[in-house]
Amino acid sequence: MAINLSTRAFYDSTTEYIGVKSGLLLNRFQIREILLEHYNNNFLVNDDLNRYFRLYPDEFDEMLLRIRQKIGNLRLDSPTQKDYEKLNKYVKRTRDIERIGRSSGICLKYIYKNPNITNIELAKLLEEEKNYPNEISLSLANIALEREDQSCVSLPKSKSWNGVTKLSDLFECEINSENENDFLDQKFIDYLAINGNEIEKIHWRNFEKFCAEYFNKKGRKVVLGPGTNDGGIDIRVFDSEDLKKPLILIQCKRFKRENKVSIETVKSFYTDVLYENANRGLIATSSYISSGGKKVRDTRGYNIDFAEFNKVKSWAIEMWSLKK
């Protein structure tokens, strides 16, 4: 049955749902821009906040999933495809379709009782308390958790508005991570994994934190500089067994792609690498290194590596929480 709601109510509900699910607060302009890539509904095109329209729940679900995919909060493909295939083979062999059908309601009760339940824990309960076969219990759990995660009927009890951050902050101001052990929150990395072309637009300090987080996730000891008056060294990376001599010195250059890192920057940075006796230097940029900068590095044998636009983009994909 279709529901009647105003455009304003649609954006309010969508903002809340996406915020609680992803931790990112999107404004209505960001939501509208994403949806207009896939839909031409009148309420989106006309953008009259006081206008009422009819929308079917499955349409609303689909729109919410599109937004979550666009911000890196949901994979573009279903991770449960193999689970469905396994259940299909089981039903063909046993004809036990009724029992499979009952599993959805049973799983939902367990999930509502414990919103943080894992797929392994849910599968174990299905086996021990409901006598579901081991060969399909994990698949049933995976499918149930996916359906609950993608449902717009109810918001997860385990999450709230606490920790929700404006997506625009990534581009407009320095962001302090919610976790003291991280430099940049995972929700922003997930966003950049799907929207890598926007990395040149993020706040320069968040770009430094993004680069620091990459090496942090590699298990290195990472020291992020103050951001200003740092002598050209933005990040120091150490081997966990040697905290005196830097393994890598990093200079970050968050430039527009048309602005290349100059030969002067490369030559100046090399003196810092020598001074601190670091194993390697690394210039990480959202742009590219000028031909002169690459040539002087190669001809003089500087122990400096370059991470240019495409390489830096790949870091976000590598750190994506939903990576296969």
**Most confident listed range (93-97, 253-257, 319-323):** 253-257
Class of domain 168-319: alpha beta
What confidence tens digit (pLDDT) does each residue in 169-221 have?
Answer: 999 999 999 999 999 999 999 999 999 999 999 999 999 999 999 999 999 99
Cα–Cα nearest to 135, from 81, 80, 86, 85: 86
pLDDT at 280: 97
- Of 303, 310, 301, 256, the residue nearest 277 (C-alpha): 303
End-to-end CA distance of the chain: 36
Confidence of residue 3 (pLDDT cuts 50, 70, 90): confident
pLDDT of residue 323: 78
pLDDT tens digit string along 17-65? 999 999 999 999 999 999 999 999 999 999 999 999 999 988 998 999 9
Split at pLDDT 50, 70, 90, the class of 158 is very low
Identity at 94, one-letter amino acid code:
T
103 touches 140 (CB < 8 A): yes
The pTM of the full predicted model, rounded to 2 decimals, is 0.88
- Whether residue 316 is predicted with pLDDT greater than 60 in this model: the reply is yes
CB of 170 within 8 A of CB of 189? no
- Sequence spans of domains, the chain: 3-70, 81-150, 168-319
145, two tokens: 């958790």
Q: What is the tens place of the pLDDT at every residue in 111-131?
A: 989 988 999 999 999 999 999
pLDDT in tens, 279-301: 999 999 999 999 999 999 999 99
Q: Which is more confident, 314 or 324? A: 314
pLDDT in tens, 61-108: 899 999 999 999 999 888 899 999 999 999 999 998 888 889 999 999
